[in-house]
Structure 1
């Protein structure tokens, strides 16, 4: 037998730039990045795709982008700026993936060029996936426009679309070349979308950073009241925790553990069971509450700790129960656990709480206790 052993490493690095009014002609952050990236002898092309919800609230945006790129000889802006739906619809319906791929082809976006997605997390997921499979990977830039995408999903390395009724069944691990977090986009968010993303900060604080959890408790009312300086600090600290975990751990999830998905196994199923009536961040808040109560029932955290978590989430404005959790004697939820195990690659690994600020991985779930946790969760409606 003959064997050729091969091993290599590919370094990845990208910046998350925090700014405001990115496409103001006075703001040179974006142009400076593009001009200095890669081989400066090539003329770079750039294609923009915008979440329709963002385009509706920021009608000036396409024209602002065109004005921003006027006179830039080194960077050729594609003449069309695509606008398509955001939310899970853009990940559920393959026509939007096809539209993105056709545009990449039509405008000659090659490996020296860029695809830019402006939108929420689901929109960034789809455009990132299209970018990764075109030409085996063209460079993509993320401009997240929601709290959730600025503090979590938009600063990570995952891209994907839904398929066969399963969330992110098709996807890649491929980092963007840059992320630009523009706080101006947050001003136009609805109260639901403003609130929704904070659940990801609660999640990462609970499993990694007790002082950050305590900071969230102290500042929950200020965030609920839409105070921008506090929200900006939350986003920065949450994004830092998420990216630090990715870079120091298992960025492409070669193993079975996904500690950053604390509260997500139930959240993913709940999104489908509610026909996506529930936002992702709202479902995550419910999942966090459920797994926190389950951790209490296992004797890992105290009733006082569990109550603090519930109080924080309710102060932020979350409703922590949905009727679909209990449907079919909670067997739909059990199915969600099995789907999560399959997504991980065979062995169930979920994160629960060992204590506030520290997660614990387990490979089995006492479903009778989990059903009791659902019943306890319903009491939070009172």
Structure 2
């Protein structure tokens, strides 16, 4: 049975929900769902990697609790966040008799959560949606805040919706089955929270490198809880990105999304692209005189200790700029970047000279 549970409440009026975090929590999935829905039909969406690890067992738990369960596994990877795959999901849900009383349960990483959430938001004008993230990146980032969507060939997450889950269940024991590369990619988003919002949390990461690297459950529970709390605080104030506050969560992402696109979403994992993007963004902040070299070195040191010194993909600078201009933070044809002024605080910066952007690619 689960041990100590940490709960983060995301307060969004009638859309409020809990994120439950702990070791062994997946065993309590039926009770978690029963407390939050009257449904007895669950469409479980996962991918080929997670199906045998967690989704099959979770579906069996639900069946044993009296649920009707339909399990659908997509191919692993970012390429499944496509129009073609979501259309296939819609048709499967239709064939299996899903209706307004059905729920969608995403069991997997960020790709699964984004895709399943978009299917839930759009099918029958919206189904209740639950997240069971099984990667670190999904637990600390993509499962929280209600952003769901799919990619177009030239732009990541360009088709989507804000569709808050009814609940998020995080089992840190799932970290033990993650390949090292996937685990490291998730840590990039963790470091991001320290840089943008919480200097004390950044220092906590610096002080607990060894435990983080061996995936200590207690340390991970705290890391996930703090990351979720920090993101929830932002989402509560700017759920639909209307005030600009939520844009701070995209530190490193203007560069990172361009790296992902130039690699056709296959060369870099999202977290790896974010790590490379954070390095470029901090370098840009140094060039613009917003932070000193010591601050840049501190971020580099932490990323290095976590094996996250990811280099930008080699590409023509003008091609990367063209991709950056598709970024959602672009306004009136001008690039805008989330840049630090110190560890724990960032700002949205406009009118950045292209020569400095290009020079920042040399980290």
On whether the aligned pair clears a TM of 0.5, the verdict is yes
1:352 counterpart SS class: strand
Q: Distance in 1 between matches of 2:240 and 2:57?
A: 37
Q: Which runs of 4+ in 1 moved over 3 A?
A: 19-24, 341-349
Cα displacement string for residues 39-62 of structure 1 (whole angstroms, at most 9, x for unaligned residues): x5xx53111112211124x1x741
Aligned to 2:35: 36
Q: Does 1:244 align with 2:225?
A: no
Residues 18, 290 of structure 1: CA spacing in aligned structure 2 closer, same or farther, 3 A cutoff?
Answer: same
Q: In the TM superposition, what are the counterparts of 1:78-117 in structure 2 within 5 Å?
A: 78=69, 80-92=70-82, 94-117=83-106
Q: Distance in 2 between matches of 1:120 and 1:88?
A: 10
Structure index of larger Rg:
1
Name stretches of at least 5 consecutive residues in structure 2 with no aligned partner. 1-11
CA contact (8 A) 2:44 2:106 kept: yes
- 253-262 or 234-243, which deviates more: 253-262
Match of 1:297 among 284, 287, 290: 287
SS at match of 2:81: helix
Q: Give 1:307's match in structure 2, choosing from 294, 297, 313.
A: 297
Structure 1 position 199 matched with structure 2 position 188: yes
TM-score (norm 1): 0.85
SS of the residue corresponding to residue 152 of structure 1 reads helix
Give me the whole-angstrom Cα distance separating, in 2, the residues matched to 1:137 and 1:297. 46
Q: How far apart in 1 are the matches of 2:222 and 2:26?
A: 22
1:180 corresponds to: 169
Rounded Cα–Cα distance in structure 1 between residues aligned with 2:34 and 2:333:
45
- Preserved CA contact (<8 Å) 1:352 1:359: yes
Alignment CA distance shift 1:294-1:193 (3 Å): same
- Asked if 1 retains the 8 angstrom alpha-carbon contact of 2:46 and 2:55, the reply is no
Whether 2:208 is the aligned partner of 1:214: answer no
Residue 360 of structure 1 is aligned with which of 347, 352, 359? 347
Aligned partners of 1:341 and 1:46: how far apart in 2? 33
Report the counterpart of residue 65 of structure 1 in structure 2.
59
RMSD over equivalenced CA pairs, Å: 2.1
User: How far, CA to CA, are the matches of 1:194 and 1:268 in structure 2?
Assistant: 19
Paired with 2:128 and 2:21, the residues of 1 have a C-alpha distance of 20
